[in-house]
Amino acid sequence: MAGGKLRVGIAGIGTVGGGLVKLFADEKSRLNEKMELVAVSARNRSRTRSFDISPYKWFDDPVELARQPDIDVVVELIGGSDGPAKRAVEIALARGAHVVTANKALIAVHGAELAGLSEEHGAKLMFEAAVGGGVPMIKALKESLAGCRAQSVAGILNGTCNYILTEMEHAGRSFEDVLADAQRLGYAEADPTMDVGGFDAAHKLTILSAIAFGARPDFEHVRIEGIEGVTLTDIRLASKLGYRIKLIAKGELIDGKVSMHVRPALLSFDHPLAAIAGSLNALVVDAEPVGQLTFIGRGAGEGPTASSVASDLLDIAEGRGGPAFGRPLAQLADAPRATPAERGRFYMRVLVEDKPGVVAALSDRLAHENISIESFLQMPAYGEPAVPIVLTTQTCTRAALDAAARAIESLDAVTEPPRVMPVEEHGSRRPPWSQR
C-alpha cells in the first residue's frame, strides 16, 4: 500500500473490466478514496477501447500482473475454471494479495482449494460479481443472513436462458429462432452450451449453496438440465394451465443434506420468480427466522457486474469481508449429498395421434401408478397428424411418474417420449394439506 491506498491490478479488461476501469476513471467515485488502479492486463494491448488504459502499467500476461509485489489487490476478470485465471488467482493469494473475481466457474470448481490458500496467506478472496451480476446475493447470504438458518435458495441465475424463455413466450418463437437472434445480438455465445445447458447457472448455484448451507462448494453434485428441450408448445400450453416455464437453480437442505439442481420447471404465475422477465436475475431465499427474501436485478453486463466488483473492493479497503464462503474452510461441512426421494407435482406433455381411446389409455397408465391428474388440456388438432396433450399431476413421486411415462411411451398412439418437468412450489403459498 503506497500512500495508504490499496494498489489494484485488473487482469482482463473486456466488458466488466472496462466498466471497472471507467469507475476508477470517475474522480468522484468512492473507489478512488481508498484505492488506486495501477495495472491492467489483457490479450491485446492495441485493441480499440472506449476507455483509456495509458495511465496504467500494462501486462501481456495476467500471471505476471498477479506476481507484482506492489499490487495489493488482483481483480481477475479473465474467466474459465482453469488456465491463466486460476494461475493468476493462486499466485496472488499465495503472496498474500487479495483477490476479487467474477469467475463463477473457477469458484464453483476450485473454491474450497482457493479459500484454503486465502486463509493460509491472510489474503481475502471475494466474488460477489460471480453470481447475479449486480444483485448482492453473496453478501446477503454471507452477512445479512449470518444469524439465520437457510432452508433453500432458488433463483433465476442465467440471463441468457431467461431472455430466451421470455422471448419465446412473448413473441411466440421457437427456441432455435430466439437463440440464433440472441447470438447475433451478442446476448448468447457462439457456443451456447454453458448458458442454455444450465452449466453457468449450476456454477452460480454451487457458490450460493455453499454459503447458504455452510458446506464446501461441490459443483459435481449439481443435477443439471438445460432449456434445449423446452418447446413453444410447452410454454403455450403450460401458460393455459396457469404456469410459466423458467430455468430454476435450486439448492435446499433435506434432512441436513444438500440437494442442488438446475432444471426447467413450471411456476404458477404468482410465484415470486414467475414475473422475472428478460435478462433479469433473481434469488429467493427461505431462512429461519427471517422468512422469505427476494432479490432482483440485472444479472450481467458492464455496469452491474463492475458495481459488484467495486463493492468487493470497498469491502476489502474498509476492512470488511470475512472468509470466502462466510465461514472458515474448516467449519464448512463436507456437503453430505442428499438423494431426495423426489415428490411433488409434475407437468407432462405427450404427443399423440388423434384417435379414440387415447385419453382413456393415458389416464389409465397414470392411475396404475396411483397418480391423480390435477389439470388436463388437449387442444384441437387442426388437421395435424399428432396433437399435444399436457397435464399436471397431483403430488406423487418422481419414480411413479417415470414409470407411468414409460408405460405411456409404449402406447401405440404416442409418437415420442413424454416430456416431464416439475412444478416448482412456492413455499409460503402451499396449502397445509400438501406437505411433502
Q: Is 272 in the site for a second copy (CB under 8 A)?
A: yes
Distance CA 81, CA 111 (A): 10
Quote the least distance from Cβ 155 to a second copy, whole Å: 14
Stretch of 131-139, 185-193, 256-264, 418-426 contacting a second copy, by CB under 8 A: 131-139
Interface size with a second copy, residues (CB under 8 A)? 48
| Residue 204: active-site member | yes
Q: Using an 8 Å Cβ cutoff, are 217 and 107 in contact?
A: yes
Q: Output the DSSP codes for 140-190.
A: IIIIITTTSEEEEEEEE--HHHHHHHHHHHHHT--HHHHHHHHHHHTSS-S
Stretch of 37-45, 303-311, 383-391, 405-413 contacting a second copy, by CB under 8 A: 303-311
Q: Using an 8 Å Cβ cutoff, are 71 and 38 in contact?
A: yes
What cell does 308 get? 459488484
Quote the least distance from Cβ 297 to a second copy, whole Å: 4
Q: Is 121 in the site for a second copy (CB under 8 A)?
A: no
Q: Is 31 in the site for a second copy (CB under 8 A)?
A: yes
The DSSP H or E segment spanning 110 is helix 104-120
Q: Is 315 in the site for a second copy (CB under 8 A)?
A: yes
Q: Is 306 in the site for a second copy (CB under 8 A)?
A: yes
Choice between 186 and 385, CB closer to a second copy: 186
3-state class percentages of the chain: helix first, strand second, coil last, to nearest 5: 35, 25, 35
Q: Is 239 in the site for a second copy (CB under 8 A)?
A: no
User: How far from 223 is each of 15, 203, 263, 281, 308, CA to CA, in Å?
Assistant: 30, 11, 8, 20, 28
Write out the E strands in 207-361. Answer: 223-224, 243-254, 257-268, 280-288, 291-298, 343-344, 346-353
Pairing of β 386-393 and β 346-353:
antiparallel
Q: Is 93 in the site for a second copy (CB under 8 A)?
A: no
* Residues in contact with 44: Cβ distance below 8 Å, sequence separation at least 6, in sequence order: none
Catalytic residue among 204, 240, 250, 355: 204
Question: Which one among 5, 173, 320, 337 touches a second copy, defined by CB under 8 A?
Answer: 320
Q: Is 147 in the site for a second copy (CB under 8 A)?
A: yes
Distance CA 202, CA 179 (A): 20
Quote the least distance from Cβ 247 to a second copy, whole Å: 20
Quote the least distance from Cβ 231 to a second copy, whole Å: 26
What cell does 284 get? 429467493
Quote the least distance from Cβ 320 to a second copy, whole Å: 4
Question: Which one among 321, 344, 388, 422 touches a second copy, defined by CB under 8 A?
Answer: 321
Question: Which one among 36, 49, 79, 148 touches a second copy, defined by CB under 8 A?
Answer: 148
Choice between 116 and 322, CB closer to a second copy: 322
Stretch of 18-26, 81-89, 256-264, 354-362 contacting a second copy, by CB under 8 A: 18-26
Instruction: Please report, as residue ranges, which positions from 32 to 71 form the binding site for a second copy (by CB under 8 A).
Output: none
Q: Is 150 in the site for a second copy (CB under 8 A)?
A: no
Distance CA 411, CA 352 (A): 9
Choice between 122 and 319, CB closer to a second copy: 319
Choice between 296 and 350, CB closer to a second copy: 296
User: CA nearest 136: which of 317, 321, 314, 308?
Assistant: 308
Q: What is the CA radius of gyration of the chain?
A: 24
Question: Which one among 76, 195, 302, 424 touches a second copy, defined by CB under 8 A?
Answer: 302
Question: Which one among 290, 333, 338, 361 touches a second copy, defined by CB under 8 A?
Answer: 290
DSSP letter at 29 equals: S
Question: Which one among 21, 123, 313, 411 touches a second copy, defined by CB under 8 A?
Answer: 313
Q: Is 148 left (phi over 0), alpha (psi -120 to 50) or beta?
A: beta
Q: Is 160 in the site for a second copy (CB under 8 A)?
A: no
Question: Which one among 193, 294, 370, 372 touches a second copy, defined by CB under 8 A?
Answer: 294
Q: Is 354 in the site for a second copy (CB under 8 A)?
A: no
* Residues in contact with 214: Cβ distance below 8 Å, sequence separation at least 6, in sequence order: 325, 326, 327, 331, 332, 333
Quote the least distance from Cβ 146 to a second copy, whole Å: 4
Annotated catalytic sites, by residue?
204
For a second copy, the binding residues (CB under 8 A) are: 19, 22-23, 29-31, 128, 134-136, 139-140, 143-148, 272, 275, 287-298, 302-304, 306-308, 310-311, 313-315, 318-322
